[in-house]
Amino acid sequence: MTLPRRRFLLSLAAASAATPGLARLAEAADYPTRPVRIFEGFGGGGTPDLISRVFAQWLSQRLGQPFVVENRTGAAGNIATEAVLSAAPDGYTLLTCLTANAINASLYKNLKFDFLRDTAPVAGLIRLPMVVLVNPAFPAQTFPEVIAYAKAHPGAINMASPGVGTPMHVAAELIKLSAGVDMTHVPYRGPAGAFTDLIAGRVQCFIITITAAIGFIRSGKLRALAVTGATRSGVLPDVPAVAEFLPGFEATAWDGTCAPKGTPADIIDKLNAAIGAGLADPQIKAKIKDLGGEPMPMTAAQFGAFLSDETNKWAKVVKSSGTKPE
């Protein structure tokens, strides 16, 4: 009877060892079993809020539980980020992460979290190309002429941005570093004042998303010199990319989905698959296009590598430019 008993005990031990793994599989298979919160850090009306709500509705329909967007504004998105990264890693608290997170990681010195260390990347959502604008009366008619003018008149070009540390600001700083020119940064509290002063000629240059700029470009009030994505934009096919003059240049605004580190991989994979299906859905693709963006489908691993690359890239720009938070 000894041998059968020994086999029984070994079988029992093996079953016990497998139980946590089986429990995790069951948890992922059943997920979600209650409402899921998606925190967004910049408030109603902006692209992060709008795209969060598009995918909250999609995930609710796809996965059978409510996905609810919560706006936790303030501190350039850091309040929402801290709330999510300190939450239980169970898949029920998600973050709409964005370019600001990659910039803030080096811009702010006393954060209570480490964005890359404490984040479980889930999926990319949307990429938003930006455009370099000038007043039509400005003597430089092309992007290379702007660079030549800046080299001939150091500090004379006033480069507006919607705020210190925004993607538009660091994109301008990257142009300055890449081209070796000096332009004076003029920060505003949002894009409205920058547009007003650019049209009036009080500042000479401004970088903003194509969506925000397209009406001014089509009306002739402002001139588009270059887009900041790696290639030309389908919305402005005749406008060259900065990379055509500064090889390797790329600066885009983007949104994605993250969870707290330690969230089960099976839950992340389930969310990634659902979001990927949404990015391929014609209706959602149309909504993304209406926002002026492009779908950004990625595996969780690819999105993690993207976050690392973005965070490291902007850390170099923040350090080299001496940018400090307001």
CATH class, 130-244 region: alpha beta
- Same fold: 35-128+252-321 with 130-244: yes
Rounded average pLDDT over 143-159: 96
Quote the tokens at residue 128: 């938003």
Domain range annotation of the chain: 35-128+252-321, 130-244
Entry pTM? 0.88
**pLDDT band (50, 70, 90) for residue 26:** low
The percent helix, strand, coil of the chain (3-state, each to 5) is 50, 20, 30
What is the mean predicted confidence (pLDDT) over 196-223? Answer: 95
Rounded Cα distance, 316 and 321, in Å: 8
pLDDT > 70 in the chain, percent = 92
Give residue 3's pLDDT: 45
The C-alpha atoms of residue 290 and residue 141 are separated, in whole angstroms, by 29
One of 1.10.10.10, 3.30.565.10, 3.40.190.150, 3.90.320.10 is the CATH number of 35-128+252-321, namely: 3.40.190.150
pLDDT band at 14 (very low <50, low <70, confident <90, very high): low
Nearest 5°: phi and psi at 124? -80, 155
Compute the mean pLDDT over every residue in the chain, rounded to the nearest whole number. 92
Cis peptide before 167 (omega within 30 of 0): no
Q: How far is CA 131 from CA 60, 221, 235, 298, 305, in A?
A: 34, 14, 11, 24, 25
Per residue in 292-311, pLDDT (tens digit) is 889 999 999 999 999 999 99
